[in-house]
């Protein structure tokens, strides 16, 4: 039987899965990412790790079609060149695809992690069957992907789909990307931290500490707990999040007239706090008919979209 390896290279961990052609995840494994001085060392380690995983999990007679890798940050597709990867200790233009292809004995494809997750949603998730849909992963920032006419839309350099950097307020908050008023400066974990910093009343100690120590990923959970306990004033933080997200989704609906917007990422399990209001807001910013025609849904793939999508990238190499 035909298999592909799907791999998700994060800042601290590497996740991998053995995937069948119908999208079934046969085996999966997560391993810490050691620190390397050069991209060459990383390529050798990744090749060894993936091949070891394959040998351990592939049944007799299995055929390895190839490997797909998702990685955060700008990636040029299909050659797999990375531009200043934000989660790896290397700067500049890194020919990571070429390096890996020189060490890996099977066909290999690399793309941006959110693009790869979009493909996973398209094949086995909430995007399945949709000709046109938008994918948004709400986490530390916002990852995005676009499917048009049943195909991933990658753009001229393969770098399309940066929905987190949609300008929703041209005089707004400064973004890490150097621009201003990007959607993710409001509707992400970083956005929540930005909103809390702007509140002009004393903050509870656990919130102040998390802000000061850079433990921003704790903030959404802290806010939810406090709201659940009856401190409803914290809903205001989620309302700002929701209004920004709604404005962004309204713009996307006007631009693409999609069948669906699929919401995923670490914050999607808190969608009850922001999604109903964001959907209402999106209808204020979008034309009525495309807004009504667009279903806004939460992904149910949890954290497997990246692995499965990366494997499909390998299966469909040249066609995606």
Q: Which of residues 254-273 bind Zn ion (CB under 5 A)?
A: none
CB of 72 vs Zn ion, minimal distance in Å: 14
In the shown chain, the binding pattern of residues 68 to 107 toward Zn ion, with x for contact by CB under 5 A and - for none, equals ----------------------------------------
In the bound state with Zn ion, the residue whose beta carbon lies nearer, of 76 and 165, is 165
Q: How many residues bind Zn ion (CB under 5 A)?
A: 5
- Other Cβ atoms less than 10 A from the Cβ of 316: the count is 17
- Residue 166 touching Zn ion (CB under 5 A): no
Question: How far apart are the C-alpha atoms of 40 and 34, rounded to whole Å?
Answer: 13
CB of 191 vs Zn ion, minimal distance in Å: 11
| Six-digit token string for 160 | 């399309």
For the four alpha carbons of 97, 114, 120 and 139, in that order, the dihedral sign comes to: positive
Q: What is the DSSP letter of 91?
A: -
Q: Which of the stretches 117-125, 159-167, 273-281, 306-314 binds Zn ion when contact is defined by CB under 5 A? A: 159-167
| Six-digit token string for 174 | 């400064």
- Residue 165 touching Zn ion (CB under 5 A): yes
- Residue 123 touching Zn ion (CB under 5 A): no
In the bound state with Zn ion, the residue whose beta carbon lies nearer, of 177 and 255, is 177
- C-alpha distance from residue 316 to each of 110, 124, 213 (Å): 13, 14, 43
259-270 as b/e, with b when 16 or more CB fall inside 10 Å?
bbbbbbbebbeb
In the bound state with Zn ion, the residue whose beta carbon lies nearer, of 180 and 218, is 180
Beta bridge partners of 167: 182
Q: Which of residues 170-189 bind Zn ion (CB under 5 A)?
A: 175, 177, 179, 182
Question: How far apart are the C-alpha atoms of 61 and 303, rounded to whole Å?
Answer: 29
Q: Which residues contact residue 313 at a Cβ distance below 8 angstroms, ignoring those fewer than 6 apart? A: 6, 68, 109, 111, 116, 119, 320
In the bound state with Zn ion, the residue whose beta carbon lies nearer, of 173 and 226, is 173
- Per CB under 5 A, residues contacting Zn ion are 165, 175, 177, 179, 182
């Amino acid at each position: 039987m035909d298999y592909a390896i799907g791999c998700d290279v994060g800042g601290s961990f590497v996740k991998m899965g053995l995937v069948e052609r119908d999208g079934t995840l046969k085996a999966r494994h997560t391993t810490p990412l050691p620190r390397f001085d050069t991209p060459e060392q990383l390529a050798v380690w990744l090749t060894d790790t993936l091949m070891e995983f394959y040998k351990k999990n592939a049944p007799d007679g299995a055929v390895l079609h190839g490997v797909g890798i998702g990685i955060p940050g700008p990636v040029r597709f299909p050659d797999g060149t990375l531009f200043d990867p934000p989660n790896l200790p290397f700067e500049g233009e890194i020919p990571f695809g070429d390096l890996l292809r020189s060490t890996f004995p099977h066909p290999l494809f690399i793309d941006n992690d959110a693009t790869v997750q979009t493909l996973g949603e398209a094949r086995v998730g909430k995007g399945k069957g949709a000709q046109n849909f938008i994918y948004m992963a709400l986490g530390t920032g916002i990852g995005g992907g676009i499917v048009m006419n049943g195909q991933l839309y990658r753009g001229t350099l393969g770098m399309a789909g940066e929905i987190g950097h949609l300008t929703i307020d041209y005089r707004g908050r400064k973004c890490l990307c150097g621009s201003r008023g990007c959607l993710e400066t409001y509707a992400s974990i970083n956005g929540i931290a930005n909103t809390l910093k702007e509140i002009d009343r004393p903050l509870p100690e656990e919130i102040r500490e998390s802000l000061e120590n850079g433990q921003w990923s704790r903030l959404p959970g802290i806010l939810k707990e406090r709201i659940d306990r009856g401190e409803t004033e914290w809903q205001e933080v989620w309302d700002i999040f929701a209004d920004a997200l709604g404005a962004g989704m309204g713009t996307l609906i006007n631009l693409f007239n999609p069948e669906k917007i699929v919401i995923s990422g670490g914050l999607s399990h808190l969608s009850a706090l922001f999604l109903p209001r964001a959907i209402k807001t999106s209808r204020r910013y979008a034309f009525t008919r495309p807004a009504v025609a667009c279903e806004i849904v939460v992904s149910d793939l949890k954290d497997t979209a990246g692995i499965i999508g990366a494997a499909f990238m390998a299966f469909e190499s040249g066609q995606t």
